[in-house]
Amino acid sequence: MVQPLNRFKESASQTAGPYVHIGLTPNFSEINGVYPHDLGSSMVNDKTRGKRIAITGRVLDGTGTPLRDALVEIWQADADGLYNSPSEMRGAADPNFTGWGRCATDMVSGEFRFETVKPGRVPFNDGRLMAPHVTFWIVARGINIGLHTRMYFGDEDAANAEDPVLARIEHRVRLPTLVAEPVEGGYRFDIHLQGEKETVFFDI
């Protein structure tokens, strides 16, 4: 026998279900008066530094149908590459930028939309700079454990080419699934849960 490690097990995930909006975006689901506004609905204010962008997209199932009941959260660095988090030791992030957004996909079109700023570069664990990116987390009915992925920027070819995380993708044909297309006013990023264009999801 040896001494026990006394580790607890993480609580097992369960699907967010079809009514996730009640809990996470109650005003969106017309439960008004409980909270003044839905958390994560606004990431910026008029003092936020950096280039304003909108990130739009959809989450598509194995038939190519957009999910109309998904919930998407994003987490990103500010324009200088700093996170608004107590675990950020490199400096103080822009106090006018939360870095975190939450959006229910539209109940008709399935579109999500985030008004944010383009993030700066953040160092990888060995000090090399990662390319600008936004972390995505997707939950919905039928998704048993939240899906993590990243969005990179289609107009950052040089930075993307030296990104240490993108470099880990063995099947290079899948790399474009993580790269958002520049469009008027921002970027477009569709997430494919299955199929030929299945997005690279992370165990991270």
Size of the site for other proteins (CB under 8 A): 83
17 is a site residue for Fe ion (CB under 5 A)? yes
Single residue of 140, 151, 179, 180 touching other proteins by CB under 8 A: 140
Burial pattern 91-124, b for ≥16 Cβ within 10 A else e, equals: eebbebbbbbbbbbbeeeebbbebbbbbbbbbee
The item of Fe ion, other proteins, none sharing an interface with residue 201, based on CB under 5 to 8 Å by kind, is: other proteins
Q: Tell me how far, at minimum, the Cβ of 77 lies from other proteins, in Å.
A: 8
Tokens of 33: 């008066």
Single residue of 53, 55, 72, 122 touching other proteins by CB under 8 A: 122
146 is a site residue for Fe ion (CB under 5 A)? no
Query: Is the Cβ of residue 17 or residue 146 nearer to Fe ion in the bound state?
Result: 17
Tokens of 59: 């989450």
The item of Fe ion, other proteins, none sharing an interface with residue 79, based on CB under 5 to 8 Å by kind, is: none
- Rounded to whole angstroms, how far apart are CA atoms 165 and 66? 27
SS3 for 111-135 is EEEEEEECCCCCECCCCCECCCEEE
- Rounded to whole angstroms, how far apart are CA atoms 142 and 14? 10
7 is a site residue for other proteins (CB under 8 A)? yes
Residues contributing to the site for Fe ion (CB under 5 A): 17
